Amino acid sequence: MGRIGVFICWCGENIARAFDMDELTEAVAEIPGVRCAIHYKYMCSEPGQALIREKIRSEKLEAVVVASCSPHMHLKTFRAAAAAAGLNPYLVEMANIREQCSWVHEPYEDETVAKAVSIIRMTVHKVLRNRALEPIRVPLTKRALVVGGGVAGIQASLDLADSGYEVVLVEREPSIGGKMAGLSETFPTLDCSQCILTPRMVEVGQHPNIRLYTYSEVESVEGFVGNFNITIRQKARYVDIEKCTGCLECWNRCPSREAPSEFDYGLTKRKAIYVPFPQAVPARPIIDLNSCAKFLRNECGTCLKVCQANAINFDDQDMLVTEQVGAIVVATGYRMYDIGREQENAKYAGYGEYGYGQYRDVIDSLQFERLLSASGPTGGEVKRPSDGAVPKKVVFIACVGSRDNAKGIPYCSKICCMYTAKHTMLYKHKVHDGQAHVFYMDIRAGGKGYEEFVRRAIEKDGARYHRGRVSKITEENGKLIVRGADTLAGAPVTIEADLVVLAAAMRPATGVLELAQKIKLGYDEFGFLSESHPKLRPVETNTAGVYICGACHAPKDIPEAVAQASAAAGKVQVLFSKGELTREPEVASVNEQTCAACFACVRTCPYLAIDKAEIRDRQGNLRKMTARVNPSLCMGCGTCVAVCPSKSVDLEGFSEEQIYEMVNGLI
């Protein structure tokens, strides 16, 4: 190559004040490879661009350097101009002689001029080694997968489905709804959780654009943005929900009533064939083999007999189905920290001192939600589990597990201050002569109307707040002796309570790490999924085409979970708004012949864009392993280039050769 046009801009006086433009242009014309060097008053103006177009044609230029302002200002402009004249836009570079030269150095100093020349020379050296590139085009399947059918997943699914895209919603449990379906009334407005959620659940169940897989899990994820290939495992349910009419005759007649109800967090028992809760979507039963008499002892079969629709199928098997989607929204939510002594990981030592699992009247806050809920096991009357008595004194303990380094969870769970205040209120509304006590460390109530809400619990509903942690709970004569402290009063406090409610920390849902590995998502040390940028890309992830929302990202309440869900849906819509995906072609690639298969690059790539690949000969024998960049995922950071010990990866646009030559040109 040797036909380079250099266009030097005056920017009015902004550049021209610093140089004798003729002299500068003459010096530049001397640089080897430069075919023509021209200066003009305003290069970005239409006449300026026309000049460039004209010279590209007349001088048969092979590459162009515009020496003017920052590339952040006008690189796109000039690349478009070149393209209009038939030159590949990736053969245009800019030399920044305004922001980084004329504006910051004394005018007419020799050094300033020398610097401008060397900046231009460096850019010429680079552009001599630029290659014509085509934007990477990626086909796009305009369907989305949503994983998790809690309030966040529901919101994202409906937003997408309503805007005309097909949605595949995969929910692990037999019904969608998530935690919110079991809540009583919700802060800060105290509206009934089921009243606002169930219509949305029904909408999901009936939406023509939503394909709902309940009692299903994501088995594997292949492909990349625009083209994911998803395998879904539909777990055996033993009830054919296509045939089932939902008459619930089976449920009414099933004689077994042994298993603790998942929906009531063990506060009640449920039957072997059951619908998780009356408003479930789909409102179809499922058989739990572990408590079914037929399966365990071959003693029953009632449901088989009573079902008119022949929907019961004891031979049901797990099924694998595949779906093609272009984007994925993960909304797997949270679970409660297990307060009991048994932990899946010794890091999360339990709270032996609080006697959860030992004293029946020490419960966690989700269980208390059920006790408050009109659809709950007590019909909304607050009765304690041990003897059904109405508790006259209830102690609420905040930050159980949260903010507790010794138990492995240093973070704040963010919503427990609020729901604890809510609990004291709802309790007071139901038990007028009852007294609520709260042990807390700080009250964190940042949100619209939140602080006012907490003050109302204290001022109007008389909850007594003690600032201090509880050390131990013991049970004596049917009372729970709660030993805490009031650090503001500087004294220990002992309260004899009838019921103790522990506001346990929020932890990410079980199994989320396996899911994250399948989708190649990042997560933090606690298992919460990582966003791409905490401020500017809060629902995007580092895997292109994958978005997160709700409590799988961090502890959050319903308003926040829903806002994030809509944001994630919006991001998917942005992605889907194009006919196909195009990406900047300045990406890395591996020289597979020289690659030593050390996979240092695989480990360093922040976007997981490099895979291990096999090279086989025609007989299919493995010849060697190599690294291979997926250009659809590479963001062009170049980290892999720097770590490769055998210099086998290079980055288009910033290749080894280009950079060395630029250094050469500088000095």
Partner 1 sequence: MLEFGYYPGCALHGSSSDYEQSVQACLKPLGVGLKELDDWICCGATAAHTLNHMLAVSLPARNLALAERDGVTELFAPCPMCSMELIKVNRALDGNAGLRQRVSEIVELPVTGKTQILNLIQVFQRIGVDKIRATVKKPLSHVKAACYYGCLLTRPADTLQFDDPEHPRSMETVLEALGASAVEWNYATECCGAGLTMAREETVCELSHRILTNAAAHGANCLVVACPMCHTNLDMKQADIDRRYGVHHDMMVYYLSDLIGMALGLDETQLGVDKHFVVKPLESPATQAAEMH
Partner 2 sequence: MSEDFEPKIVAFVCNWCTYLAADLAGTNRLEYPPNVRILRLPCTGRVDFNLIIKALEMGADAVVVSGCHPGDCHYTAGNYHARRRWILFRELLETMGIETNRIFFSWISAAESKKWQHMITEITDQIREMGPYTAYHEISEATA
Partner 3 sequence: MDHEASMNAALAATSVENCYQCGKCTAGCPAADEMDFMPNQVLRLVQAGDADTVMRSRAIWLCVSCLTCTTRCPQSVDCAGVMDVLRQMAAGQETVPPDMQRIKVFHRAFLDSVRRHGRINEVELIMQFKTLGFLKDRNMRLLMKDALLAPKLIQRGKFHLQGESVRDRAVVRRIFDRCMPRADRARRATADKDSASGGVV
The number of angstroms, rounded, from the C-alpha of 63 to the middle of its chain's C-alpha atoms is: 42
136 binds ligand SF4 (CB under 6 A): no
- Between CA 164 and CA 601 the distance in angstroms is 40
| Through-space distance between the first and last CA atoms of the chain, rounded to whole angstroms | 22
Surface-to-core class of residue 28, CB atoms within 10 Å of its CB (0-12 exposed, 13-18 middle, 19+ buried): buried
- 531 binds ligand FAD per the rule CB under 6 A: no
390: amino acid identity, one letter: V
Nearer to ligand SF4, 320 or 491 (CB): 491
Print the binding letters for residues 62-81 with partner 2: x by CB under 8 A, - otherwise. --------xxx---------
Q: How far is the CB of 623 from partner 3 (least distance, A)?
A: 54
Q: How far is the CB of 511 from ligand FAD (least distance, A)?
A: 5
Indicate the pairing of strand 166-170 with strand 136-138.
unpaired
Q: Are 153 and 59 in contact (CB under 8 A)?
A: no
Minimum CB separation of residue 452 from ligand FAD in Å reads: 15
Number of residues that bind ligand SF4 (CB under 6 A): 80
When asked if residue 445 is in the footprint of ligand FAD (CB under 6 A), the reply is no
Q: Decide: is 353 part of the binding site for partner 1 (CB under 8 A).
A: yes
Does 487 contact partner 3 by CB under 8 A? yes
Query: Cβ 638 to ligand FAD, closest distance in Å?
Result: 29
Q: Which is nearer to ligand FAD, 154 or 595 (CB)?
A: 154
Encode 384-418: b = buried (16+ Cβ within 10 Å), e = exposed: bbbeeeebebbbbbbbbbbbbeebbbebbbbbbbb
Q: How far apart are CA 231 and CA 547, in angstroms?
A: 18
Contact status: 341 vs partner 1 (CB under 8 A): yes
- The position carrying tokens 């959620």 is 197
Q: How far is the CB of 417 from ligand SF4 (least distance, A)?
A: 3
Question: What is the identity of the amino acid at 83?
Answer: A
Distance CA 652, CA 589 (A): 8
Q: Does 331 participate in binding ligand SF4 (rule CB under 6 A)? A: no
Which range of residues in 183-191, 298-306, 572-580, 584-592 is near ligand FAD by CB under 6 A? 183-191
Choices 145-153, 237-245, 271-279, 471-479; region in contact with partner 1 by CB under 8 A: 471-479
Contact residue for partner 2 among 150, 401, 585, 638 (CB under 8 A)? 638
Question: Residue 468 binds what, of ligand SF4, partner 3, partner 2, none (CB under 5 to 8 Å, by partner type)?
Answer: partner 3
273 binds, among partner 3, partner 2, ligand SF4, none (CB under 5 to 8 A by kind): ligand SF4
Could you say whether residue 315 binds partner 2 (CB under 8 A)? no
* Interatomic CA distance for residues 142 and 161, integer angstroms: 11
Phi-psi region of 447 (alpha: psi -120 to 50; beta: other; left: phi over 0): left
Helices (H), 234-373: 249-253, 293-297, 302-306, 365-372
Q: What radius of gyration, in Å, describes the C-alpha atoms of the chain?
A: 33
- 300 neighbors 256 (Cβ within 8 angstroms): yes
H or E element, residue 536 = none
Span 527-566, contacts to partner 2 by CB under 8 A: 532, 542
DSSP letter string, 390-416: PPSEEEEEEEESTTBGGGTB-S--SSH
Among 235, 341, 464, 469, binds partner 3 (CB under 8 A): 469
Read off the DSSP letter of residue 531: P
Q: In one letter, which amino acid is 320? A: L
What is the closest distance, in whole angstroms, from the C-beta atom of residue 285 to partner 1 in the complex? Answer: 39
Positions touching partner 2 (CB under 8 A) are 70-72, 96, 98-101, 103-106, 109, 111-112, 114-115, 118-119, 122, 532, 542, 586, 604, 606-607, 635-639, 641-643, 651, 654, 656, 659-660, 662-664, 666-667
Kindly list the residues in this chain that would bind partner 3 in the complex (CB under 8 A).
353, 403-407, 441, 467-472, 483-487, 490-493
Catalog residues that contact ligand FAD under the rule CB under 6 A.
147-153, 170-173, 178-180, 183, 186-187, 217, 331-334, 365-366, 369, 415, 419, 422, 509, 511, 515, 535, 550-551, 556-559, 561
